[in-house]
Structure 1
Amino acid sequence: MGGFGVRGIGLLSLSVLALAGCMDGQTKVVAQPAAHNSAKPDKAQDTRKAAAARAAKVKANELGQIPVLMYHRVVAKPAGTDDRTPQQFRTELERLAKDGYVPITAREYTTGKIAIPAGTHPVVLTFDDSSPSQLTLDGTGAPKPDTAVGILLDVSRKHPGFRPVATFYVIKDMFGTFGPEAQAQVLGWLHDNNFDIGNHTRDHLNLRGRSKEQVTEQITAGHKLITSLIKDTPSTLALPYGNQPSTKTWAIRGGAGDVRYDYTGVFLAGYTPGASPFSKDFDPLGIPRIRAMDKVGDCARFCSTAWLDWLNAHPEDRYTSDGDISTVAYPKFKSPYVTPRFARYTLPY
């Protein structure tokens, strides 16, 4: 499963780069005017060589694969294969921290804003269906310690480089709360603490086989629910049951009434790690996720423990950061996998 796409925002000498929205489902990178550059060409070349040497030292591969892990409930007594116990969840987070992974959000992933230290690897933690086991606030407005957020915060405190961020794909049954005030309170806490909120449709209906009107109604209803509660706009969608509509583009862009949505990525359910957002293999219409589960049954090969083992055994296929968001570093022989529109930002070594 070789060469996946490119991370980063790009190399543009001393220019300042800014991410701006999306166009045709892809990130648009806008170069802002640079200050007058009086540096001699040979100095710029020396700077580039030094950056390449640093990337080579940490074996940077920003064309590598990124695990996007999919969680549902975190409960003491699992009722199905999608549930994890608090201890299982904590163990997996501890493993990720030990293996050098740094969490990023789905928004950061799909827009290419992957700013993590040199030599580390991005991981995207996603939670579906907005269960109260994921986040419940106590009487002081703090997450209860046995919830997914509480556990993530605790692991982050013990491993300071392990960012406490994740993406929550919410539906109308929002963390067990009732009424707009309570829902705004819990979504507001997530937003204020740098968590990412994505759309999972309002009613969690299977979109396969439904008409365009039915698909867009469900997506716009979920979108409106979020934007009516907090001053933020979701940038990604997780498809209920991972099922795509008959026309894939309906999921990423559309609208009904006065509500429009234009997402940077649409997530599926299960199977493989995802491609780098700057790779020829990256498809914003169908980004795979990995079920969080131990190596049992079908999950002996295709769930989180198995895939994390595989990535550890194949470091050449895993995304490794060079620590510089303005460059896209990778071994030179992987150049054919770079998507052409980001070629000028690359740093092969």
Structure 2
Amino acid sequence: MVGPLIGVANVVVVAVAIVGLTVVPSSGEPVPRPQAALAAPPTAKPPHDPTPPQGTPSPGPSASPTGQPPGVAATPEFARQVKANEAGVVPVLMYHRIIKKRYASIDRTPEQLRQELEGLAKRGYVPITAAEFVAGDIRVPAGKFPVVLTFDDGHESHFRLDASGNPAPDTAAGVILDVARRYPSFRPTATFWVNREPFGLRDEASQAAAVRWLVGHGFEVANHTWSHPNLGVLPKKTVQKQIVRVQRMLEKLGAGTPRTLALPFGVAPHPRELARKGKWDGTRYDFTGVFLAGAEPSLSPYAKKFRPGAIQRIQSNGKKGECRKWCSQYWLEWLDKHPDDRYVSDGDPGRISIPSRLQGNVDAKWRGRINAY
């Protein structure tokens, strides 16, 4: 069922993104739950208390990316106590412009962003980057839930430094940092997928300053193609040129080689493998993850059915029109009601803790790390 659901939802998001339609009321039943590689259907119940019991510290120091906590050494008994399920689904939230007055249904206001992030923090979600997610490098405290915050198009509303040299409070980065200050367990990070003028900046010095500030503070800045075209109608060479030009730009600006790509409008090129690997003018690209424009929570990166070349995302929005069954408010409420389907961390980045019944749902390459209970 996952494939058809993704296809339909992605078409909806593409249409909205292209024409900027206002969401209109729509009837229809809620969609089936995502196929999260669960052996048995969950029972509806409130989410468990995300505060875990005391774990066993990992032996020796633990090297963690910026802002991430050191792990614990999860045993089967500890995993059972925190109800770990690292085969569960993960919300990858998709944002576009963050502006005071919305002009398109996919726009969000700074206050709407703040409310959603505060809701995530209160529920026990901890942000990680898209690159960390797809690599399976999920360093989230035991009993908490990973979430991936993604911002498309490198819009000026995503990042801007104020006179004091800090992100302006009404930008996406500013809101994220403010929420993290008030909710210390909410890691201040996100992925910004940019085009040829990151954050609306045109001179190289300003672009470099912005990119390096973000990367230096634990954010990811990655590839969204040069001019945001529909890759599905472009010749192979042009597709590769669109991707390589942004890769070269980001490397020059100090972001490093991007590991992830967000498809403009969620549309893949032909053949779709060109979205992951290719070359142009002597430069190669090789992404660990390629992200769509909408659908449902993503499967765990450890799941057999996880497709790194077509990772699901959820548009941030309320429950009106098509968003009644596709967007963030619907899915976050759904995950509250189906906690057995949600990814719950064991706090140990070296182990994959799951209920014993789910062992067969983990991809073979990860089996050596399974901690079943």
TM-score computed with the length of structure 1 as normaliser:
0.86
Pick from 323, 329, 335 the counterpart of residue 359 of structure 2. 335
Cα distance change, pair 111–159 in 1 and its aligned pair in 2 (3 A): same
Residue type matched to 2:247 in 1?
H
Pick from 128, 135, 140 the counterpart of residue 111 of structure 1. 135
Q: Which residue of 1 aligns with 2:342?
A: 318
Cα shift at 1:16: 11
Cα shift at 1:258: 2.7
Cα distance change, pair 14–161 in 1 and its aligned pair in 2 (3 A): closer
SS in 2 for 1:90: helix
Residue type matched to 2:230 in 1?
N
**Structure 1: unaligned runs, 5 residues or longer:** 6-12, 20-47
**Contact 1:3–1:337 (8 Å) recurs in 2:** no
Q: Which residue of 2 aligns with 1:40?
A: none
Residue type matched to 2:136 in 1?
G
Cα shift at 1:323: 0.8
**Contact 2:211–2:255 (8 Å) recurs in 1:** no
Higher share in strand:
1
Cα distance change, pair 199–143 in 1 and its aligned pair in 2 (3 A): same
Q: Which residue of 2 aligns with 1:271?
A: 295
Cα shift at 1:173: 2.5
Distance in 1, Cα, partners of 2:35 & 2:94: 23
Cα shift at 1:141: 1.9
Cα shift at 1:326: 1.1
Q: Which residue of 2 aligns with 1:186?
A: 210
Once the two structures are superposed, residues 304-332 of structure 1 have per-residue CA deviations (whole angstroms, 9 ceiling, x without a partner) of 00000111111111000011111100111
Q: Which residue of 2 aligns with 1:164?
A: 188
Please identify runs of 4+ aligned residues in structure 1 that moved more than 2 A. Answer: 1-5, 13-19
Residue type matched to 2:342 in 1?
R
Residue type matched to 1:138 in 2?
D
**Contact 1:202–1:225 (8 Å) recurs in 2:** no
Pick from 314, 326, 333 the counterpart of residue 290 of structure 1. 314
Cα shift at 1:343: 1.0
Distance in 2, Cα, partners of 1:18 & 1:244: 36
Residue type matched to 1:196 in 2?
E
Residue type matched to 2:354 in 1?
Y
Distance in 1, Cα, partners of 2:62 & 2:168: 39
Pick from 266, 270, 274 the counterpart of residue 250 of structure 1. 274
Which range moves more in the overlay, 137-146 or 165-174?
Answer: 137-146
Q: Which residue of 2 aligns with 1:36?
A: none
Identity of aligned residues (%): 45
**Contact 1:328–1:345 (8 Å) recurs in 2:** yes
SS in 2 for 1:335: helix
> How many residues end up aligned between the 2 structures?
314
SS in 2 for 1:175: helix
Q: Which residue of 2 aligns with 1:128?
A: 152
**Contact 2:221–2:255 (8 Å) recurs in 1:** no
**Contact 2:134–2:289 (8 Å) recurs in 1:** yes
Distance in 2, Cα, partners of 1:209 & 1:317: 37
Distance in 2, Cα, partners of 1:18 & 1:338: 25
Distance in 2, Cα, partners of 1:160 & 1:68: 21
Distance in 2, Cα, partners of 1:326 & 1:18: 12
SS in 1 for 2:321: coil
